[in-house]
C-alpha cells in the first residue's frame, strides 16, 4: 500500500510563469485515506493530500520520490510534484467518513497551457480614435481611400474567430481637420453618456500616407508610403498592452517620361495585406487569452458581467473572480444563468468571498 503523500510537500508545488495563451481550469478531485487507529485528523490530512495529488495529475505532472529510514526503523516516503501548470488554490467542497476511510472532495484552480489557441469565445476589441494624416500633394481621393481602409481593418478583425469588434471611432475626437472635429462633436453630443466597454481592449493610433518618388531614366514612378502606429490599450488598467508599428506601400503613378503611357505597378492598390497581418496579430495576442469580463453590478448572490452572447458567452459558463487578499484561496466562482447580447448575469457559487463591481472575471476552461 502506498504511504500517504505529505501535505507539506504538495504545498511547495513549483511556481511557473504562465504563457500568454494559458487558461485557468476548475478541477474536481477526490482523495481517500485509511484511518489508522483513531487518528481521524491524520487521515483527513492524507485524504486532502491525495485529492491535491489527483488535481495536479489532471493538469500535467512528473513525480519525483525519495524514501528514507528513520532512526526508529520506520520507512518514510515523500513525493514531490512538479506540474506544467500552477495549482493556484483549492477549496474543500465535501468531506466525510466512510467506514475506516476518510474522503475529501476539493475544487482546485490550475493554470494550464494547451500549446495552441483553444479559445472558443470572442474577446472585445474596440476601435478608438484613428487619425488619418495625408501629406500635402496627395489628393482627396487618397484620403478617402485611407479612411475606407480603416473600415477594411475592421472587416479583417471581424474575420478573426476570437475577436468581437466594437466600432467606437465616432466617440473619439480626432483633431486633424475642423470638419472631423465638428463631425465627432456632433456624435458625442447626440450620444451623451457613452463609455468604453470596461472589459475590452481599445485600438487607437494613426495612419500616415506620404508620397515617395522612385524614378529612373525612362520611367517616372510615385508610390505611397504608409505608416501605421497603433496602440492597444487595456480598458481595465488604462495601460498600453502593445505598440504596433507597421509599414506598407501602395501604387500611385507610373508612366514613361514624356508620354501618356501608364504602366502597371508592382505595389498593391490597397491595404488589405497590411490589415490582414495586424488582424492576425491581434487575434493571437488578445483573442487567444481566456475571455475576460468586468463585473458591472452585484445584487445579492448574482453579478452582471460585461460580456454576453456576442462574445460567445452562454448559460452554464463559469468565470473566476480573483480578489486581492493575502489568502491565495480568495476567489469566487460564478456561473452564467442568462446571456444578453453584450452582458450576462451569473450566480455566485460560493458563500464567500463577496465580489464587488469593477472586479475582473476570467472564463474558466
**Domain end marker among 262, 285, 308:** 285
Q: Are 285 and 242 in contact (CB under 8 A)?
A: yes
Q: How many domains does the chain have?
A: 3
Which of 223, 256, 285 is the last residue in one of the domains?
A: 285
Contact 278, 163 (CB under 8 A): no
Full-model pTM: 0.66
**Across the strands, what pairs with 222?**
213, 253
Asked if the model's pLDDT at residue 105 lies above 50, the reply is yes
Give me the mean pLDDT over the 2-6 stretch.
Answer: 34
Residues 256 and 318 placed together within one structural domain of the fold: no
Same domain, 198 and 323: no
**β-strands 302-305, 292-299 pairing:** antiparallel
Residue 10: which pLDDT band, with cuts at 50, 70 and 90? very low
Q: Are residues 142 and 245 located together in one domain of the fold?
A: yes
Instruction: Yes or no: say if 32 and 102 are a contact pair by the CB < 8 Å rule.
Output: yes
Tell how far CA 102 is from the center of its chain. Answer: 40
CA max distance for the chain:
106
**R_g (Cα) of the chain, nearest Å:** 29
> Do 166 and 20 fall within a single domain?
no
Stretch 191-219: mean pLDDT, rounded? 81
Percent of the chain with pLDDT over 70: 73
- The grid cell for 36 is 489508522
Do 245 and 263 share a domain, yes or no?
Answer: yes
Domain shared by 296 and 278, yes or no: no
Domain shared by 357 and 222, yes or no: no
Q: Domain containing 319: what range?
A: 292-363
- Give 328-339 pLDDT, tens digit per residue: 557 788 889 999
Backbone phi, psi, residue 127, to 5°: -95, 110
- Please, which residues bridge with residue 211 across strands? 224
- Pair 145, 75 in one domain: no
Question: Does some domain include residue 118?
Answer: no
1 found inside a domain: no
Choose the final residue of a domain: 83, 112, 141: 112
Confidence of residue 272 (pLDDT cuts 50, 70, 90): very high
Question: Which region holds residue 238: left if phi is over 0, alpha if psi is between -120 and 50, else beta?
Answer: left
Do 189 and 62 lie in a common domain?
no
Amino acid at each position: 500500500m502506498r504511504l500517504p503523500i505529505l501535505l507539506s510537500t504538495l504545498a511547495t508545488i513549483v511556481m511557473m510563469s504562465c504563457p500568454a495563451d494559458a487558461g485557468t481550469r476548475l478541477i474536481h478531485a477526490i482523495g481517500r485515506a485509511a484511518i489508522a487507529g483513531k487518528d481521524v485528523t491524520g487521515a483527513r490530512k492524507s485524504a486532502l493530500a491525495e485529492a491535491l495529488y489527483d488535481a495536479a495529475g489532471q493538469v500535467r505532472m512528473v513525480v519525483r520520490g525519495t524514501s528514507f529510514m528513520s532512526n526508529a526503523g520506520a520507512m518514510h516516503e515523500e513525493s514531490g510534484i512538479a506540474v506544467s501548470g500552477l495549482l493556484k488554490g483549492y477549496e474543500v467542497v465535501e468531506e466525510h467518513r466512510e467506514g475506516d476511510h476518510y474522503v475529501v472532495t476539493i475544487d482546485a484552480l490550475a493554470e494550464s497551457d494547451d500549446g495552441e489557441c483553444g479559445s472558443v469565445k470572442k474577446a472585445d476589441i474596440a476601435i478608438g480614435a484613428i487619425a488619418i494624416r495625408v501629406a500635402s500633394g496627395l489628393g482627396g481621393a487618397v484620403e478617402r481611400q485611407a479612411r475606407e481602409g480603416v473600415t477594411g481593418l475592421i472587416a479583417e478583425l471581424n474575420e478573426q474567430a476570437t475577436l468581437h469588434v466594437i466600432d467606437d471611432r465616432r466617440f473619439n475626437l480626432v483633431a486633424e481637420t475642423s470638419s472631423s472635429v465638428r463631425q465627432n462633436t456632433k456624435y458625442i453630443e447626440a450620444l451623451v453618456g457613452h463609455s468604453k466597454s470596461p472589459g475590452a481592449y481599445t485600438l487607437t493610433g494613426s495612419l500616415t500616407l506620404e508620397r515617395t518618388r522612385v524614378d529612373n531614366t525612362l520611367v517616372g514612378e510615385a508610390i505611397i508610403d504608409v505608416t501605421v502606429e497603433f496602440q492597444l490599450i487595456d480598458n481595465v488598467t488604462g495601460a498600453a498592452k502593445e505598440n504596433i508599428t507597421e509599414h506598407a506601400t501602395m501604387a500611385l503613378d507610373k508612366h514613361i517620361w514624356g508620354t501618356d503611357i501608364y504602366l502597371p505597378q508592382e505595389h498593391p492598390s490597397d491595404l488589405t495585406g497590411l490589415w490582414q497581418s495586424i488582424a492576425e496579430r491581434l487575434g493571437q495576442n488578445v483573442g487567444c487569452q481566456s475571455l475576460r469580463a468586468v463585473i458591472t453590478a452585484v445584487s445579492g448572490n448574482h453579478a452582471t458581467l460585461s460580456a454576453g452572447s456576442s462574445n460567445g458567452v452562454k448559460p452554464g459558463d463559469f468565470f473566476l473572480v480573483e480578489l486581492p487578499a493575502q489568502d491565495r484561496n480568495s476567489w469566487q466562482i460564478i456561473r452564467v444563468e442568462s446571456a444578453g447580447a453584450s452582458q450576462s448575469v451569473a450566480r455566485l457559487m460560493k458563500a464567500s468571498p463577496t465580489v464587488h463591481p469593477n472586479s475582473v472575471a476570467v472564463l474558466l476552461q
